[in-house]
Amino acid sequence: MTGNVVAFDSNYALVPKSEIHFRIEKLQRWMASEALDGAFLFQHVDIYYFSGTLQRSILFVPVSGQPLLMVIKSLKRAQTESPLEQILPLKGRNALPPILSDFNYTGLNRVGLELDVLPAGHYLWFKKTFPHIDGVDISPGIRGLRMIKSAYEIDQIRRSAAVTDKGYQTIRGLIREGMSELELDGLLFSIGRKNGHLGLMRIRGWNQEMMNAHVFTGPGGAAVSCCETPGNGMGISPALPQGAGFGRVTRNQPIYIDYGVNLNGYHSDQTRTLIIGALAPTLARAHACAKEILDVLEDQIRPGMACREIYQKAKDMATEQGFADHFMGHGEGQVRFLGHGLGLEIDEFPVIATKFDMPVEEGMVFALEPKFSFPGIGIVGMEDDYLVTAKGLERLTLTEQILLKI
Amino acid sequence: MTGNVVAFDSNYALVPKSEIHFRIEKLQRWMASEALDGAFLFQHVDIYYFSGTLQRSILFVPVSGQPLLMVIKSLKRAQTESPLEQILPLKGRNALPPILSDFNYTGLNRVGLELDVLPAGHYLWFKKTFPHIDGVDISPGIRGLRMIKSAYEIDQIRRSAAVTDKGYQTIRGLIREGMSELELDGLLFSIGRKNGHLGLMRIRGWNQEMMNAHVFTGPGGAAVSCCETPGNGMGISPALPQGAGFGRVTRNQPIYIDYGVNLNGYHSDQTRTLIIGALAPTLARAHACAKEILDVLEDQIRPGMACREIYQKAKDMATEQGFADHFMGHGEGQVRFLGHGLGLEIDEFPVIATKFDMPVEEGMVFALEPKFSFPGIGIVGMEDDYLVTAKGLERLTLTEQILLKI
């Protein structure tokens, strides 16, 4: 607490020192195994993960020794938020070389960079500033380390999922026939925000944007668009062609709500289908199939099972019930995954997909989202968040796994 | 409209064909003057600006001839949304070279890339795929073209500003003592969303994140953090250290609301200070100074005046009234600009700042935001959006320029 500039409320929850030290050690061990001399982290979320602060900075983590957190703004706040021991002011990136010299990091040969997110301009500056250093992509490595959650992180996601549940319970009492998708979307945001949602969801993928909620009533839910998700929605403008459209709640039409919360940096991500009246028979069967898929996977997934095997099992069940052409979208909109890792970003590892051979491991947290889309009609399905334990899956999301009747 | 896959509501407003053709011509003329053979656009917002669709794609614009919009997903929707004539399917970026060959774009020597936003991984792929092409940064050029708004764009920003005003008028009737900043923030989002806010605000700057609103009551408003803005706020977590904190509306303390709307892609951005009771004398003087600065600038700005001159005029007025140390933030949090361009992103050109020699031109749209921050006390000020016309400034934001009493 530095005078009256920063006065943290007791609810402003800093990342524990032990957590940061553990993460830095993990990164250093991994870098040693990869013959890296260190890593320069530029992306704010990676910096937060390894330092506990999201203040504007560059983080250098040597393969052994103290990391250097070099802060452009705000230094005072970074010093209060981060438990790292070397926190220094940085007057822009060109002040980086003398700092490295001061700390005797002059013999670096091979270092890691986040090439999936670091802008080319920054990369070219780095190559010009350090012409003798080989900068290799460590994003897959970092995402691999971040994939296994600590007890602290699992607790954050649990708390996040509790707010998501509150969203469903509250909105269930507010939905009326004729309400617009936009109005429901706004209400879901305000319920989450009042209960601690940070206001933004984070996605790492290039050019991708993550909305707080996707609310679809009826046919708009089956619209195909640019998102890597089974339900894109129409949106209300080509300038953001996803999410709530101009639809309104209509009796006997599925109300699909894919809703997330970012609590203290950690995302939960849940989908439920709601209804006033009753689903058409085909949609009811598809919704039941989604529930069966989750039941079977909750029962059968164990550490060691390959991600692609999980995807295949779900796909087989959908095919057996005649829904192959609707599983995870339809036509051009069909996506080839069933789930995705969750943490500080909503597109973390693992991906539960054909191309992901990786086995499921204890400490992973991911969403599974069996969904069925019918052109001209709408989309139904469910999504829940799971922790992998030694025994199998533990569900972290709390809302009952049923078609929610209004 | 391709069958039942895409059925646009009449309110789903496509970008006019004439608008897209005009923009492409502008880009081609500019490329000719820069001796560029063409440009590969990868960033979604730039692609939207030049094609009218935000579907996942790569846009190649040759210095003369038809642009090629190569679409990964959704092709059908891009074909419906974009008035460009060459819209082709693209099965991932590695399918790019044969398409260029098919269209006889084989002799490219020097092309433009968006090096400020394009990830290094994409850039390295481009260099490897096209080793003989020189890829130069055209982001400043594109931002320069986007800086001058068309009549269509000005109309979008006007409509956006009308929704922002609705936010202030509505929230004014809802604020009560004891309400939390988070609750007000949620309400502002839901008011905007119901009236067409797309749900996300866009900022181009690396690692920067734009919230829908910054709501500060009292001391939290003066907290210093990582944002390039005079008021950062505490936030409620180090994972997103900006915006609403744990404060609550308190009699005689300034309620600062910086609120934006993204309507059909176009941003409006406004700030008002509200109060229950009365401002302390120093804050009241500072608030009056902000209003005087806007009055003088509204009166004096003409095409041809340098951006830095505008900043300096405002700073001089603040200094004369004894507020030099509080103008646009305090201490480490003081920023060196008074305003920023607005359009499809909230950090467009021009920047009204010392380092910006550029003269103000007809067709520019920017926000001016004189604000004063007092450590331990709070922040007051105003922000309005302006169009530069031949005669001078026209204010686009509609809310009365006063301290809003509740």
Question: Are B57 and B187 found together in one domain?
Answer: no
Element (H, E) at B141: helix B139-147
The verdict on B248 touching A (C-beta cutoff 8 Å) is no
CA distance A211 to chain B (A): 7
Inter-chain CB proximity A332 and B74 less than 8 Å: yes
Whether B2 is in a domain gets the answer no
**H helices of B8-129, where?**
17-33, 44-51, 75-81, 96-102, 120-129
Give chain A's mean pLDDT: 96
pTM of the predicted model as reported, rounded to 2 decimal places: 0.97
Q: What confidence tens digit (pLDDT) does each residue in B22-81 have?
A: 999 999 999 999 999 999 999 999 999 999 999 999 999 999 999 999 999 999 999 999
Measured between alpha carbons, how far is B77 from B66 in angstroms, rounded to an integer?
20
Instruction: Tell me the average pLDDT across A63-77.
Output: 97
**H helices of A134-209, where?**
139-147, 151-172, 181-194
Q: Are B368 and B296 in contact (CB under 8 A)?
A: no
Inter-chain CB proximity A265 and B239 less than 8 Å: yes
Chain A residues in contact with B264 by the CB 8 A cut-off are 237, 239
Taking CA–CA distances from B329, the nearest residue in chain A reads A5
> At residue B4, does pLDDT exceed 70?
no
Question: Are B69 and B218 found together in one domain?
Answer: no
List the single best residue of B20, B53, B74, B335 to mutate versus A (max A Cβ within 10 A).
B74
Whether A62 is in a domain gets the answer yes
Measured between alpha carbons, how far is B197 from A193 in angstroms, rounded to an integer?
17
The verdict on A325 touching B (C-beta cutoff 8 Å) is no
The verdict on B347 touching A (C-beta cutoff 8 Å) is no
Half-sphere exposure at residue A332, Cβ-oriented, CA atoms within 13 angstroms:
23
Whether B201 is in a domain gets the answer yes
Which of B74, B118, B189 comes nearest A190 by C-beta?
A: B189
Which residues between 273 and 302 in chain A have a beta carbon less than 8 angstroms from any beta carbon of chain B?
none
Inter-chain CB proximity B186 and A194 less than 8 Å: yes
Measured between alpha carbons, how far is A378 from A298 in angstroms, rounded to an integer?
26
The verdict on A81 touching B (C-beta cutoff 8 Å) is yes
Chain B residues in contact with A12 by the CB 8 A cut-off are 234-238, 245-246
Whether A393 is in a domain gets the answer yes
Inter-chain CB proximity B54 and A238 less than 8 Å: yes
Chain B residues in contact with A46 by the CB 8 A cut-off are none
The verdict on B75 touching A (C-beta cutoff 8 Å) is yes
Q: What confidence tens digit (pLDDT) does each residue in B344-374 have?
A: 999 999 999 999 999 999 999 999 999 999 9
Which of B73, B189, B198 comes nearest A189 by C-beta?
A: B189
Question: Are A208 and A254 found together in one domain?
Answer: yes
Query: Can you give the C-alpha Rg of chain B in angstroms?
Result: 23
The verdict on B91 touching A (C-beta cutoff 8 Å) is no
Q: What confidence tens digit (pLDDT) does each residue in A19-31 have?
A: 999 999 999 999 9
- pLDDT score of A1: 35
Q: Six-digit token pair at A352?
A: 């539960």
CA distance B371 to chain A (A): 17
Neighbour tally for B66: CB within 10 Å = 13
Q: Are B325 and B355 in contact (CB under 8 A)?
A: no
CA distance A309 to chain B (A): 25
Q: Give the pLDDT band (50/70/90) at residue A6.
A: low
Inter-chain CB proximity B225 and A7 less than 8 Å: no
Inter-chain CB proximity A206 and B119 less than 8 Å: yes
Which residues between 122 and 141 in chain B have a beta carbon less than 8 angstroms from any beta carbon of chain A?
122-124, 137, 139
Angle at alpha carbon of residue B162, lines to B158 and B166, rounded to 5°: 165
Name the β-bridge partners of A373.
A379
- Verify cis geometry, omega within 30 degrees of 0, for the bond prior to B219: no
Q: What is the ipTM of this complex?
A: 0.97
Give chain B's mean pLDDT: 96
A290: phi then psi, degrees, rounded to nearest 5: -60, -45
Question: Are A51 and A97 found together in one domain?
Answer: yes
> At residue B394, does pLDDT exceed 90?
yes
Question: Are A157 and A306 found together in one domain?
Answer: yes
> At residue B2, does pLDDT exceed 60?
no
Question: Are A252 and A107 found together in one domain?
Answer: no
Q: Six-digit token pair at B72?
A: 């990964």
Measured between alpha carbons, how far is A349 from A341 in angstroms, rounded to an integer?
5
DSSP string, B88-121: EE-SSGGGHHHHHHHTT-----EEEE-TTTSBHH
CA distance B46 to chain A (A): 11
Inter-chain CB proximity A239 and B245 less than 8 Å: no
Q: Are A341 and A366 in contact (CB under 8 A)?
A: yes
Measured between alpha carbons, how far is B197 from A28 in angstroms, rounded to an integer?
44
Q: Six-digit token pair at B310?
A: 């505008």
List the single best residue of B236, B258, B264, B344 to mutate versus A (max A Cβ within 10 A).
B236
Taking CA–CA distances from B200, the nearest residue in chain A reads A211
The verdict on A48 touching B (C-beta cutoff 8 Å) is yes
Chain B residues in contact with A198 by the CB 8 A cut-off are 235-237, 239-240
List the single best residue of B113, B153, B200 to mutate versus A (max A Cβ within 10 A).
B200
> At residue B242, does pLDDT exceed 80?
yes
Q: Which of A113, A145, A177 is the last residue of a domain?
A: A145
Q: What confidence tens digit (pLDDT) does each residue in B93-135 have?
A: 999 999 999 999 989 999 999 999 999 999 999 999 999 999 9
Whether A7 is in a domain gets the answer no
Q: Give the pLDDT band (50/70/90) at residue A2.
A: very low
Total domains, chain A: 2
Give B351's contacts (C-beta < 8 A, 6+ positions apart).
B307, B337, B339, B340, B341
Question: Are A259 and A310 found together in one domain?
Answer: yes
Question: Are A153 and A275 found together in one domain?
Answer: yes
Q: Are A327 and A337 in contact (CB under 8 A)?
A: no
Q: Six-digit token pair at A387?
A: 């922790």
Chain B residues in contact with A8 by the CB 8 A cut-off are 234
Whether A12 is in a domain gets the answer no
Question: Are A86 and A223 found together in one domain?
Answer: no
Domain span at A386 = 148-405
Report the interhelical angle of B181-194 vs A181-194 (nearest 10°): 170
Q: Looking at residue B4, what DSSP letter applies? A: T
**Residue listed under structure tokens 């000005």:** B154
> At residue B241, does pLDDT exceed 70?
yes
Inter-chain CB proximity B240 and A77 less than 8 Å: no
Whether B11 is in a domain gets the answer no
**CATH number of the domain residue B320 falls in:** 3.90.230.10
Q: Looking at residue A391, what DSSP letter applies? A: S
Angle at alpha carbon of residue B127, lines to B121 and B128, rounded to 5°: 90
Which of B81, B119, B211 comes nearest A200 by C-beta?
A: B211
- pLDDT score of A9: 86
HEC string of chain A?
CCCCCCCCCCCCCCCCHHHHHHHHHHHHHHHHHCCCCEEEECCHHHHHHHHCCCCEEEEEEECCCCCEEEEEECHHHHHHHCCCCEEEECCCHHHHHHHHHHCCCCCCCEEEECCCCCEHHHHHHHHHHCCCCEEEECHHHHHHHHHECCHHHHHHHHHHHHHHHHHHHHHHCCCCCCCEHHHHHHHHHHHHHHCCECCCCCCCCCCCCCCCEEEEEHHHHHCCCCCCCCCCCCCCCCCCCCCCCCCECCCCCCEEEEEEEEECCEEEEEEEEEECCCCCHHHHHHHHHHHHHHHHHHHHCCCCCEHHHHHHHHHHHHHHCCCCCCECCCHHHCCCEEEEECCCCCCEEEEEECCCCCECCCCEEEEECCEEEECCCEEEECEEEEEECCCCEEECCCCCCCCEEC
Which of A42, A211, A263 comes nearest B200 by C-beta?
A: A211
Question: Are B66 and B168 found together in one domain?
Answer: no
> At residue B209, does pLDDT exceed 50?
yes
Whether B8 is in a domain gets the answer no
Q: What confidence tens digit (pLDDT) does each residue in A171-228 have?
A: 999 999 999 999 999 999 999 999 999 999 999 999 999 999 999 999 999 999 999 9
Instruction: Tell me the average pLDDT across B250-257.
Output: 98
Question: Are B67 and B172 found together in one domain?
Answer: no
The verdict on A226 touching B (C-beta cutoff 8 Å) is yes
Question: Are B294 and B168 found together in one domain?
Answer: yes
CA distance B311 to chain A (A): 22
Inter-chain CB proximity B113 and A120 less than 8 Å: yes
Which of A6, A124, A237 comes nearest B198 by C-beta?
A: A237
- pLDDT score of B7: 67
Q: Are A77 and B241 in contact (CB under 8 A)?
A: yes
**CATH number of the domain residue B98 falls in:** 3.40.350.10
Q: What confidence tens digit (pLDDT) does each residue in A286-338 have?
A: 999 999 999 999 999 999 999 999 999 999 999 999 999 999 999 999 999 99
> At residue A246, does pLDDT exceed 90?
yes
Q: Which of A145, A175, A198 is the last residue of a domain?
A: A145
Q: Which of A105, A128, A145 is the last residue of a domain?
A: A145
